[in-house]
Amino acid sequence: MPSPPSLTPDVVYAPPPDLSLTPVWLDDDLVVLDKPSGLLSVPGRGADRADCMLSRAEARWPGVQVVHRLDMATSGLLVFGRHDAAQRALSLAFAGRHSLKRYEAVVHGVVGPDAGEIDLPLITDWPRRPLQKVCHDQGKPSLTRFEVTERRPDLGWSRVALTPVTGRSHQLRVHLLAIGHPIVGDPLYGPGELATAPVPGRLLLHARALGLPHPADGRAMQWACPVPF
């Protein structure tokens, strides 16, 4: 039986210019890069979606391998292994939840509590994939911690720091939608643009900090990059 068509909006892929990559961190085992919004982490379907963070990294550092991904619209830190052993070690760290991930987002509305947890199970919304949804019957456990860092009732938005404990697809986007505060600029889960947003024309979600054990010796590593909004 053929798969049902996706009901998500058609998106014309227009990646940002391929500027010279300045690594946040580089050594013999790994490279950490700051991915811009609008660029795929890995190649998509079709030749028109071959340009991605992986292809750009491979052109500069042959042999790099994917460890994790960010949504196309999300900006921020991506780590790549530079050889097989490093890729395996880094992937195991993510799978075993030995990574520390911090995001920042601007959301619609004024978030009431100063901090809290969003503990809602998620599952693929199959007829509307790649969308995800909350499902208490079949969803996978999903947990996000948040802290409000700025409220702008005059502009209609709040800034939040986010810590995903689990790593489900679109987790932050769906969890924030579920509490009534979708991320500004999200064409899939929210009302989209906000005239008073700090930066127009993009999803205001950024992976700003990342911590992992080094694949060579296990020492704790942490990296950060500026939030562009």
**Which pLDDT belongs to residue 58?**
97
Residues 13-33: pLDDT tens digits? 999 998 889 999 999 999 999
| Selected catalytic residue, list 34, 48, 71, 154 | 71
Give me the architecture of the 103-205 domain, per CATH: 2-Layer Sandwich (3.30)
- For residue 8, pLDDT over 50 is answered with no
Q: Give catalytic status of residue 51 as yes or no.
A: no
Which value, in Å, is the radius of gyration of the alpha carbons in the chain? 18
Residues 115-155: pLDDT tens digits? 999 999 999 999 998 999 999 999 999 999 999 999 999 99
Tokens coding 227: 């939030």
Q: Which residues contact 204 (CB under 8 A, 6 or more apart)?
A: 105, 106, 107, 183, 184, 185, 197, 198, 229
Instruction: Report residue 10's pLDDT band, with 50, 70 and 90 as the boundaries.
Output: low
Instruction: Report residue 193's pLDDT band, with 50, 70 and 90 as the boundaries.
Output: confident
Mean pLDDT over 198-212 rounds to: 97
Tokens coding 201: 């024309």
Residues 36-58: pLDDT tens digits? 999 999 999 999 999 999 999 99
**Which pLDDT belongs to residue 226?**
97
**Which pLDDT belongs to residue 73?**
95
**Which pLDDT belongs to residue 2?**
32
Instruction: Using alpha carbons, select from 186, 159, 190 the residue that is nearest to residue 177.
Output: 190
Per domain, the residue ranges of the chain are: 103-205
Q: Quick check: 81 and 64 in contact, CB under 8 A? A: yes
- 46 vs 3, higher pLDDT: 46
